[in-house]
């Protein structure tokens, strides 16, 4: 597998664009994004589990029920959620885009991110669509910018891989900076590939992948009303369509995982106000489920996150988060180690502290990417979770966002 | 019921004290507290559910297995948790105190709060006990100070009530500023009463009470290794001992609830770095369990807490937290109202926003005690949860506590 340029336009037959249409007041910020496939692609999607769901998710779910899609349109600045006419607006968006592209309206994936509960006006979208379509090209970065809210960095990646002797490409863009903020936020991920794969296998691959990728990311523990991950596969690479769980399927899953894992790390590291990416790797759990519970509990602990902001090797907070996680763990066996580019340091063994150099620990924890390694000594279960530190800026960003 | 002075010394036959013994470096801060009953009292206790448990909790559990206790000793500055010799040190503490008081060592309740994983030296405790005992008197406030860590306010209350024609008193002290920090923190509550009640009924009353009181408080979602609530009842009021769930039992439970509810509000309002007490009242749930899940989910949302810090009427974050709470709720029926001393304002009805004055909302939310009223329109279930806003100072306090 090889990392390549191009984001969602790396795969053959995909183009993209992003424009400022006027949903946001800042005229220099693109707020409407488009990803387009020359031919109809197979489509798979996963959605937020929040009971409060954005209207675009409902419309998308209907549109791709047949496993097919040809375009993705997404606005930022307004989540189109908890609005009386949300469904109507989302459907109108699909129709307007479909007309401009000359495709079927039910082949459009629609998404929104931004403020909840404020009616979304169709006018700027309607007026922006012609330029959006006209400018279609190798503009993954424009699309990427169009879906950003509080994100400080573009999140874009692509890889080349081989399936059945054919070179395939897969690439993605993402936004997400708090796991969610019903105001300006939500996690959105759009992935494109030219690998040929049936809609059923694509959905299977995606559903399995998110369990180990996006479901293991937490910025603030809140789950958005508009979270959504969508993959389009248009088969332009010319490989024989993947129809079963064979070797080719495994190769595709590996490529998909490379894209999603990269984007997970980007999302966590760009958490609102974050100064550090935290990666919690648990091993020795009695099973995978236990490892996941432990990894997520640690990565979600406000106390642990604040300690990491302060580069404080406060392993007691790790133990504590393991203890209240609800996982079946023998706390007398737990070992904890911090690691970064500056080295690693063991701080806890058999559930109790071990002498360590506070200076060395500080040096390790001052880095911008920190690994927390937890050994449970109880089996072969492993899991990784991603998060970020809790900082003054998180409070600032979220303390007064709407006004 | 009448509020009275005296804290844990309000009930007949109880004295208290607090001294500086040297566990903490700051010599002006009391770090060892004592509550003493002239005669052996019935005792009940609830403990943290964290798998990582402080050594003092284990020792206390053994000591009050017979439902009896006569003294409570508690140090701050060191949690005596995750230490190889923790049990030994906690037992020594009981023995030293028992000898000085002339009581049985297994009638001592022992508790600790402070840093995890640093051995607790018995020397300062041993040298502090004589003065601690000698100074016993109406010093509930000294004891209260002795258990404080990052608390900025003493948490102390007492009430007078009547049981079977006899006047009884009940009072309590508490500490807790983060729901926990395995470093300097933990929630500890000690309640004394002169009401006569059997050990079994006392435990029943306490276990039931904490479900609606301390288990509904969240500062940061973290559960301490050392959390503990203990009640001593010495019967000095002279009422006929409460042995069944009769009218007298109900009167006692009401009095206990007055003490615990007051302390809950004090703990939440004094959350680390907090500027506001948040009280989330849910009604119209299909049952109590559902109401509790919803109330806690809202009070625990970092995004909602940050919005309250900014006095931002961001009701979308309330809806979102309800949506991901896991509770069975019809989001189309949800109503939300903010209320404080400055009035109340409805911001959401039937799951969608309603027009409201942002100015009025700001005025309401700038107060230091905010109620979030949520109506689910689905039954008679009700619950209240307490929390606080998320502020810069929370991050500051927890970003570098140990060093």
| CB < 8 Å from B in window 80-109 of A | 81-84
Q: Tens-of-pLDDT digits for all 403 residues of chain A?
A: 999 999 999 999 999 999 999 999 999 999 999 999 999 999 999 998 888 888 999 999 999 999 999 999 999 999 998 888 999 999 999 999 999 999 999 999 999 998 888 899 999 999 999 999 999 999 999 999 999 988 888 999 999 999 999 999 999 999 986 544 333 346 899 999 999 999 999 999 999 999 888 888 876 666 677 889 999 999 999 999 999 999 999 999 999 999 999 999 998 888 778 899 999 999 999 999 999 999 999 998 888 998 999 999 989 889 989 988 889 999 999 999 999 999 999 999 999 889 999 999 999 999 999 999 999 999 999 999 999 998 887 777 777 655 4
Query: What whole-number distance in Å separates Cα of residue B112 and Cα of residue B89?
Result: 11
- Are B7 and B123 contacting, i.e. CB atoms less than 8 angstroms apart? no
Residue A159: its H or E element: strand A155-163
Q: Alpha-carbon distance A175 to A171, whole Å?
A: 14
Give B237-264 as a 3 state SS string.
CCCCCECCCCHHHHHHHHHHHHHHHHHH
CA distance B255 to chain A (A): 31
What is the set of active-site residues of B? 186
- Write the DSSP symbol of residue B301: -
Interface size A-B, in CB pairs within 8 Å, comes to: 212
Q: Which of B148, B278, B303 is nearest to B216 (CA)?
A: B278
Identify the structural domains of chain B with CATH numbers, from first to last.
Answer: 2-269 (3.60.70.12), 277-399 (3.10.20.340)
Q: Any CB–CB contact under 8 A between A144 and chain B?
A: no
A186 is catalytic: yes
- The 10s digit of each residue's pLDDT in B248-279 is 999 999 999 999 999 999 988 887 788 999 99
Indicate the helix (H) or strand (E) that contains A251: helix A247-269
Q: Is B333 on the interface with A (CB under 8 A)?
A: no
Chain segment A202-247, per-residue pLDDT in tens: 999 999 999 888 888 876 666 677 889 999 999 999 999 999 999 9
> Which residues are B43's β-sheet partners?
B232
Measured between CB atoms, does B55 come within 8 Å of chain A?
no
Q: Which of B98, B323, B176 is nearest to A116 (CA)?
A: B323
- CA pair distance B135, B123, nearest whole angstrom: 19
Residue B333 DSSP one-character state: G
The DSSP element (H or E) to which A320 belongs, if any, is helix A315-323
pTM, full prediction: 0.80
Kindly report the number of other CB atoms within 10 A of residue A25's CB atom: 8
CB contact under 8 A, B324 and A222: yes
Which residues 237-296 in chain B show a CB within 8 A of chain A? Answer: none
Say which of B116, B303, B348 has its CB closest to residue A316: B116
Q: List the one residue out of A341, A296, A292, A338 whose CA is nearest residue A315.
A: A338
pLDDT of residue B184: 36
Q: Which residues of A touch B324 (CB under 8 A)?
A: 49-51, 222-223
Chain A contact set for B50 (CB, 8 A)? 320, 323-324
Closest-CA distance, B330 to chain A, in angstroms, reads 8
Can you say how many angstroms the Cα of residue A265 is from the centroid of all Cα atoms in its chain? 9
Judged by a CB distance cut-off of 8 A, whether residue A316 touches chain B is: yes
Beta-carbon separation of A302 and B358 below 8 A: no
Inter-chain residue contact B302 with A352, CB threshold 8 Å: no
- Within the 163-222 window of chain A, which residues sit less than 8 Å (CB to CB) from chain B? 178, 180-183, 220-222
Q: Tell me whether residues B303 and A353 touch, CB distance under 8 A.
A: no
* pLDDT attached to residue B67: 96
pLDDT confidence of residue B76? 94
Give pLDDT < 50 ranges for chain B.
179-185, 403
- The answer to whether B400 contacts chain A (CB < 8 Å) is yes
* Chain B CB contacts of A50 below 8 Å: 320, 323-324
Nearest Cβ partner for B180 among A79, A320, A352? A320
Of A220, A302, A317, the CB nearest to B182: A317
Query: Could you give phi then psi for residue B293, rounded to 5 degrees?
Result: -60, -45
Q: How far apart are CA B179 and CA A329, in angstroms?
A: 22
Best mutation target among B318, B349, B399, B401 (most A Cβ atoms within 10 Å) is B399
Query: Quick one: pLDDT at residue A221?
Result: 63
Residues in A closer than 8 angstroms to B323, CB to CB, are 50-53, 223, 225
Smallest CA–CA distance, residue A217 to chain B, in Å, is 16
pLDDT of residue A66: 97
Could you tell me if A348 lies within 8 Å of chain B, comparing CB atoms? yes
CA angle A177, A183, A189 (to 5 degrees): 40
Q: Which one of the listed residues A186, A225, A260, A391 is annotated catalytic?
A: A186
* Whether B401 contacts A303, CB under 8 Å: no
CA distance A394 to chain B (A): 8
Which residues on B lie below 8 Å from A178 (Cβ)? Answer: 303
Which of chain A's residues have a Cβ under 8 Å away from the Cβ of B311? 400
DSSP single-letter state for residue A242: B
């Amino acid at each position: 597998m090889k990392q390549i340029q191009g984001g969602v336009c790396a795969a053959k037959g995909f183009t993209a664009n992003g424009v400022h249409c006027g949903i946001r007041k800042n005229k220099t910020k693109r707020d409407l994004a488009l990803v387009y496939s020359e031919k109809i692609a197979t489509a798979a999607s996963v959605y937020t589990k929040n009971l409060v769901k954005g209207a675009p998710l409902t419309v998308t779910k209907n549109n791709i029920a047949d496993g097919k899609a040809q375009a993705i349109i997404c606005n930022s600045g307004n989540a189109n959620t908890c609005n009386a006419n949300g469904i109507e607006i989302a459907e109108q968006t699909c129709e307007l885009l479909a007309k401009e592209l000359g495709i079927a309206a039910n082949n459009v994936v629609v998404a929104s991110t931004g403020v909840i509960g404020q009616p979304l006006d169709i006018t700027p979208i309607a007026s922006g669509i012609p330029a959006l379509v006209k400018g279609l090209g190798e503009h993954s970065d424009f699309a990427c910018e169009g879906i950003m809210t509080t994100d400080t960095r573009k999140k874009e990646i692509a890889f080349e891989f081989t399936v059945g002797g054919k070179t395939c490409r897969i690439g993605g863009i993402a936004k997400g900076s708090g796991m969610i903020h019903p105001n300006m936020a939500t996690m959105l991920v759009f992935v494109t590939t030219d690998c040929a794969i049936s809609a059923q296998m694509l959905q299977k691959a995606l559903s399995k992948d998110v369990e180990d990728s996006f479901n293991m990311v937490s910025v603030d523990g809140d789950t958005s009303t508009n979270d959504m991950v969508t993959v389009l596969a248009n088969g332009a690479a010319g490989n024989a369509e993947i129809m079963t769980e064979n070797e080719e399927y495994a190769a595709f899953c590996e490529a998909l995982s490379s894209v999603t894992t990269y984007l997970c790390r980007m999302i966590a590291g760009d958490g609102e106000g974050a100064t550090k990416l935290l990666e919690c790797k648990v091993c020795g759990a009695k099973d995978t489920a236990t490892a996941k519970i432990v990894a997520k509990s640690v990565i979600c602990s406000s106390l642990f996150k604040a300690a990491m902001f302060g580069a404080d090797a406060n392993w007691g907070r790790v133990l504590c988060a393991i203890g209240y996680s609800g996982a079946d763990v023998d706390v007398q066996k737990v070992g904890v180690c911090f690691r970064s580019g500056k080295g690693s340091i063991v701080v806890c063994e058999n559930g109790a502290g071990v002498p360590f150099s506070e200076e060395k620990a500080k040096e390790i924890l001052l880095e911008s990417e920190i690994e927390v390694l937890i050994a449970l000594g109880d089996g072969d279960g492993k899991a990784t979770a991603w998060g970020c530190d809790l900082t003054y800026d998180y409070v600032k960003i979220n303390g007064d966002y709407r006004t």
